[in-house]
Amino acid sequence: MSMILKVASRNILRQKKRSFLLAGAIAFGMFVITMINALTGGVVENIRVNFSHALGGHIFVSGREYTDHGSVIQRIRNEDQLTALLEENGAVIESVTKRSQALPTLIFGSKQTMHLVYGVDFEEEEKLLESLVVTDGSLANVSRHNSLILPGPIGDRLGVQPGETILVRLETLTGQQNVGEFMVEAFIEDQERFGLSAAYANRDYLNSLIGLGEDEYQSLNMFLTDMDEIDKLGATFRTALGVPAERDQSKFQEISEDEAMETFLSNVRTEDITPWEGTRYRVTTLNQIMEPVEAMVYVLNKVGLIIFVILLVITAVGITNTFRMILVERTKEIGTMRAFGMQQETVKYIFLMEALLLSLAGGVAGVGVTAIVAFVLGKIEFTTLPAMQFFLNQGHITFSISLGSVVLNLVIVLVMSLIAAYWPARAAAKLSPIKALSSHA
Amino acid sequence: MKQLRYFAVGLLLVLGFSTIVLADDFSHIREVLHRIDEQSRFDDTDLASVLTVITEDPEKGLEKMVVRQFRRDDGERFLLLIQEPSVQKGQGYLLEGDNLWFYDPSSRKFAHTSMKESFQGSDARNADFSQWSYSSSYKIVDYSDGTLGKFEVYIIDLEAVDDTVPYPYVKLWVTKGTNLVLRAEEYSLTKRLMRSALFPNYAKVGSGVIPTQMIFIDELVKGKKTQITISEISTNKLPDHVFTKAYVERVSR
CB contact under 8 A, A179 and B223: no
Average pLDDT per consecutive 10 residues, chain A (441 residues; last block may be shorter) = 82 84 87 85 81 82 82 80 86 88 91 90 85 85 90 90 92 89 89 73 93 88 87 88 55 43 43 71 86 80 81 86 85 83 86 90 92 88 67 80 86 90 88 75 53
pLDDT attached to residue A256: 46
* CA closest to A108 among chain B residues: B221
Residues in chain B with pLDDT < 70? 1-24
* CA closest to A71 among chain B residues: B164
Of B125, B194, B221, which to mutate for an interface test with A (greatest number of A Cβ within 10 Å)? B221
Q: Which residues pair with A281 in a beta bridge?
A: A63
**Does residue A103 belong to the interface with chain B, where contact is any CB pair within 8 Å?**
no
**Does residue A253 belong to the interface with chain B, where contact is any CB pair within 8 Å?**
no
Q: Show the DSSP H helices in A132-256 as ranges.
A: 152-158, 203-210, 230-240, 249-254
Nearest one of A90, A24, A375, A407 to A223, comparing CA atoms: A90
**Does residue A72 belong to the interface with chain B, where contact is any CB pair within 8 Å?**
no
CB contact under 8 A, B163 and A180: no
**Does residue A172 belong to the interface with chain B, where contact is any CB pair within 8 Å?**
yes
* CA closest to B189 among chain A residues: A178
Q: Which residues of B touch A211 (CB under 8 A)?
A: 163, 189
**Does residue B191 belong to the interface with chain A, where contact is any CB pair within 8 Å?**
no
**CA–CA dist B90, B79 (Å, integer):** 12
**Does residue B125 belong to the interface with chain A, where contact is any CB pair within 8 Å?**
no
**How many helical (H) and strand (E) elements, i.e. helices and strands, does chain A have?**
14, 13
Q: Which residues of B touch A171 (CB under 8 A)?
A: 116, 166
Nearest one of B73, B67, B76 to B49, comparing CA atoms: B67
In Å, what is the CA distance from A320 to each residue of A24, A312, A416, A419, A421? 16, 12, 11, 9, 5
Tell me whether residue B13 is in a domain: no
**Does residue B27 belong to the interface with chain A, where contact is any CB pair within 8 Å?**
no
Tell me whether residue B158 is in a domain: yes
Within 10 angstroms of residue B232's Cβ, the number of other Cβ atoms is 10
Q: What is the DSSP letter of A199?
A: E
Amino acid at site B85: P
A346 burial (CB, 10 Å; 0-12 / 13-18 / 19+) is middle
Closest partner residue to A109 (CB to CB) among B162, B168, B222 is: B222
Within 10 angstroms of residue A406's Cβ, the number of other Cβ atoms is 21
Tell me whether residue B164 is in a domain: yes
CB contact under 8 A, B167 and A176: yes
Q: What is the DSSP letter of A135?
A: E
CB contact under 8 A, A169 and B194: yes
pLDDT attached to residue A289: 82
| Per-chain mean pLDDT for chain B | 85
Q: What is the DSSP letter of A378?
A: H
Closest partner residue to A176 (CB to CB) among B163, B222, B223 is: B163
N residues, chain B: 253
Q: Which residues of B touch A167 (CB under 8 A)?
A: 220
Q: Which residues have a Cβ under 8 Å from the Cβ of A202 and sit 6 or more positions away?
A: A119, A120, A121, A122, A142, A143, A144, A145, A146, A147
**CA–CA dist B53, B124 (Å, integer):** 9
N residues, chain A: 441
Closest partner residue to A112 (CB to CB) among B190, B194, B221 is: B221
Q: Which residues pair with B72 in a beta bridge?
A: B77
Q: Which residues of A touch B165 (CB under 8 A)?
A: 176
Chain A nearest CA to B184, separation (Å): 16
Tell me whether residue B160 is in a domain: yes
Structural domains counted in chain B: 1
CB contact under 8 A, B221 and A180: no
Domain that holds residue B69: 47-251
pLDDT attached to residue B21: 47
Chain B nearest CA to A105, separation (Å): 10
Q: Which residues have a Cβ under 8 Å from the Cβ of A75 and sit 6 or more positions away?
A: A63, A64, A65, A173, A212, A216, A217, A218, A279
* CA closest to B165 among chain A residues: A176
Amino acid at site A89: N
Chain A nearest CA to B10, separation (Å): 42
Within 10 angstroms of residue A287's Cβ, the number of other Cβ atoms is 15
**CA–CA dist B129, B115 (Å, integer):** 9
Tell me whether residue B131 is in a domain: yes
Tell me whether residue B133 is in a domain: yes
Closest partner residue to B223 (CB to CB) among A110, A174, A211 is: A110
Q: Which residues of A touch B192 (CB under 8 A)?
A: 179
Identify whether the C-beta of residue B76 lies closer than 8 Å to the C-beta of residue B67: no
**CA–CA dist A376, A362 (Å, integer):** 21
Q: Which residues have a Cβ under 8 Å from the Cβ of A159 and sit 6 or more positions away?
A: A108, A109, A111
pLDDT attached to residue A249: 39
Going by their DSSP bridges, the two strands B99-104 and A199-202 should be labelled as unpaired
Domain with residue B64: its CATH number is 2.50.20.10
Tell me whether residue B29 is in a domain: no
CB contact under 8 A, A179 and B194: yes
Chain A nearest CA to B181, separation (Å): 21
Tell me whether residue B16 is in a domain: no
Chain B nearest CA to A128, separation (Å): 30
Residue B101's SS3 state is strand
**Does residue B186 belong to the interface with chain A, where contact is any CB pair within 8 Å?**
yes
pLDDT attached to residue A290: 80
CB contact under 8 A, B189 and A169: no
